[in-house]
Each structure stands twice: as structure tokens, then as C-alpha cells.
Structure 1
Amino acid sequence: MDAFDRFWQWANKPLESQLTIPAELHQAVMELTPVDRRDRAALNQAAARLLDSER
């Protein structure tokens, strides 16, 4: 499962779900435009860039 799938699984979860995502992934996605959040390549690239910059 890639970052795109993880984010959208979390975003579309039922309210009672305890599913979480890392804060870093949420931050990377929220920095994108709403259109880019729906683009698998753009979202995965943003997540990878953020994770690489933290190393």
C-alpha cells in the first residue's frame, strides 16, 4: 500500500474507526493543492520528499 492509498483509506474511514496515519504523511498531503491530493503520483512524491528531508 502506498502513501496515496494510506491517506485515502484514512480520509474515507467511518467516524468510529480508530485508523490513524503518521503526522508526517498528513502534513505532506495537506501541503498539496486539493487537485494534487487526488493525483497518486503527486501525493506519493510529496510524501517521499518529506520523509527523505527528515532523514
Structure 2
Amino acid sequence: MDAYDRFWQWAEKPLDSFLTIPAELHHAVMMLPPEDRRDRAKVNAAVARAADPER
């Protein structure tokens, strides 16, 4: 499961779910424009950059 799948699994979880994601993943995705959050490549790249700022 990549970052895109993890984020959207969390975002679309039922209200009573205790599923969590790392804050860094959430922050990286939320920094993208809303239309880019549905683009797998852009989400995965943003999360990779956040994990490795040298990229």
C-alpha cells in the first residue's frame, strides 16, 4: 500500500473508525492543492519529499 492508498483509506474511513495515519503523511498531502490530492503520483512524490527533504 502506497502513501496515496493510506491517505485515502484514512480520509474515507467511517466516523467511528480508529484508523490513523502519521502526521507527516497528512501534512504532506494537505499541502497539495485539492485537485492534486487525487493524483497518485503527486501524492506519493509529496510524501517522499517530506520523508527525504534532499529529494
What TM-score does the superposition give when structure 1 sets the normalisation length?
0.94
Identity of matched residues, %: 72
For 2:19, the aligned partner's letter is L
Alignment of 1:8-27 (within 5 A): 8-27=8-27
For 1:24, the aligned partner's letter is E
Alignment of 1:37-48 (within 5 A): 37-48=37-48
Distance 1:48 1:22 in 2: 13
Structure 1 unaligned blocks of 5 or more? none
Distance 1:51 1:20 in 2: 18
Deviating 4+ runs (over 6 angstroms): none
Task: Give the RMSD, CA atoms, in angstroms.
Answer: 0.4
For 1:10, the aligned partner's letter is W
Report whether the alignment pairs 1:34 with 2:34.
yes
Specify the SS of the correspondent of 2:52: helix
What are the Cα deviations for residues 15-35 of structure 1, in whole angstroms up to 9, with x where unaligned?
000000000000000100011
Figure out how many residues of one structure are paired with residues of the other and give that number. Answer: 53
Deviation, 1:10, is 0.1
